[in-house]
Amino acid sequence: MKAMILAAGRGERMRPLTDHTPKPLLKVAGKPLIEYTIEALVAAGIADIVINLAHLGEQIQHYLGDGSRYQANIVYSREGGTSALETAGGIKKALPLLGSKPFLVVNGDISCDFPLQNLSNKSCDLAHLVLVNNPAHHPAGDFALGSHSIASAEGSPKYTYSGIGLYHPDLFSQLAQGKSALGPLLKDAMQEKRITAELYHGFWMDIGTPERLAELNALMLK
């Protein structure tokens, strides 16, 4: 299985930290965020990794190289300039690097101890999402979880999408190249009951602000 780490975002809420450093290279306990994700993927047996790049992306590529020091094979999908293609657009552009089988996608700005190996041999229709309980900064959640693990944009309670998911290339087959958000694409597929999900109760943080970065730093240093 291949994996994609989403690393092209501008990190507006992280400014001024991200004015000169891309968010995935911000350090936690002395190590860039993205390194933790790469190490978790490799530990789960997923060594073929695609990383998309936009804002200050050359720094990420220079730091990580070809991934050999992590026992990984890293290739890059360059989106150009400082304006990323958003999640679905970025995945669509990277599809030639990801192949024809389901692949794992992980947000580059999360910290989570979800066992990624659980997804390495899992089958899915169009996508399988990992959901978590709603954090204080996102109390409304994103998706509901129904019977037979079917995810829905309707219903309650709603849970938060963790930024970890298994995706089939077919989900993006009708999507035009260019900037495109993931949410509407998932919601359309949910209406056809083609998205499944699971709820994870372990550690998860969205590292979206300097305050949450500092909180994670304090946790890791303990």
| Residues linked to residue 166 through DSSP beta bridges, in sequence order | 104, 128
Domain ranges of the chain: 2-221
Q: Which residue has the higher pLDDT, 106 or 120?
A: 106
Q: How many CB atoms lie within 10 A of CB 141?
A: 17
pLDDT one-digit tens code per residue, 73-98:
999 999 876 557 899 999 999 999 99
CATH superfamily of 2-221: Spore Coat Polysaccharide Biosynthesis Protein SpsA; Chain A (3.90.550.10)
Q: What is the pLDDT at residue 81? A: 60
Q: What is the pLDDT at residue 119? A: 94
What is the average pLDDT score of the chain? 92
Q: What is the pLDDT at residue 47? A: 96
| Residues linked to residue 112 through DSSP beta bridges, in sequence order | 204
In one-letter notation, the amino acid at residue 82 is T
Q: What is the pLDDT at residue 152? A: 95
Cα–Cα dist 99/181, whole Å: 21
Reported in sequence order, the residue ranges of 54-189 that DSSP labels E, i.e. its strands, are: 73-78, 103-107, 110-112, 127-132, 143-145, 151-152, 158-167
Confidence of residue 19 (pLDDT cuts 50, 70, 90): confident
Cα–Cα dist 204/85, whole Å: 25
